[in-house]
Amino acid sequence: MESIDKAREAKEFAQRIANIHIHHSKIEKIYNKFMSMRCFGKFGAGGNNLDHLFIIGKSGVGKSNMVKKYAEQNPGYTKVVNGIEYDIKPVVYLELPDPFTILELYQSIVKALGAPQRFGRPSIGEVKRQAFNLLEKQEVEMLILDEMNYILSSKYVKPQEAMEAIKHIGNQANISLVCIGTPEIECLRKLSFQYFRRFPQVELERFTQLDKEFCLFLKAIEEQIRPEQHLGLGDMDTLLPEMFFKMSKGVVSIITQTIQEAYRLAGVYDTDFNDVSKININVGLLYVAYKNIVGDMMESDFENAVEQT
């Protein structure tokens, strides 16, 4: 029985490591904005009065993970009306198609809502009607459109046409839209004062200082994974916050991937791993894990990449 309990504990620990996601203060502010958008959408703020949002951030700050987690935390449910079951999905996440086309945009919405794709070569009008019908029946409140940068690289659709299609979805489906991408997508808001006014922008930034907020973020990681061996990730006396800040330059994905890789190296994902107490994470292992993540890139090159991406 004890060996079974240890094996189960080991598996649960491995899952916690694989699913690290911390709601630090920067993310909490955005989540609060999401709740505000959905709240006012429910209470009559329809049509042109609905709130929309652009979220920009450099690569690695955790934009996609943040919105995916929000969608997961606001799952759908089944509603029965007159004996008919409807899958209600208040928050829907999708990644824009690449290459971007209007037809593929509507097909991506249909797929995200769990409906089968139309066979053959459906017209834009057919898929559009299907998408709007599903958005209404499934009572979607918020549609999250990730990888907006694909619009900028599209050879088939002009940015203005793409933004008009997205705006049309918000108007006709009476839902809030959240558009995600790197800082380059800011130009899409500036194509028209109407877009600029209706799509306010917030930025998810990396940590820029080795301060209390950064330490609290590291501490929250340790509280989430709950290792048997205390690490002191957020304790300045351990020098780990300083090490992580120097290695990551404040980029969240580098931090979480380094920790995940360190535990992989420690054997957490080995098929015979069944004892959490045997894990030993130290500075040397963390550094090896970090090098595995960033490769042989020189520190100066890494700093330049962080600043430019």
pLDDT tens per residue, range 102-113? 999 999 999 999
pLDDT tens per residue, range 231-281? 999 999 999 999 999 999 999 999 999 999 999 999 999 999 999 988 999
Mean pLDDT of 50-71: 92
Q: Which residues contact 176 (CB under 8 A, 6 or more apart)?
A: 37, 38, 41, 50, 51, 52, 53, 141, 142, 143, 170
Percent of residues, the chain, with pLDDT higher than 70: 91
302 has a pLDDT exceeding 80: no
301 has a pLDDT exceeding 50: no
43 pLDDT band, cuts 50/70/90, is low
* DSSP state string for 179-248: EEE-GGGHHHHTT-HHHHHHS-EEE-PPP-SSSHHHHHHHHHHHHHH--SS---TT-GGGTHHHHHHHHH
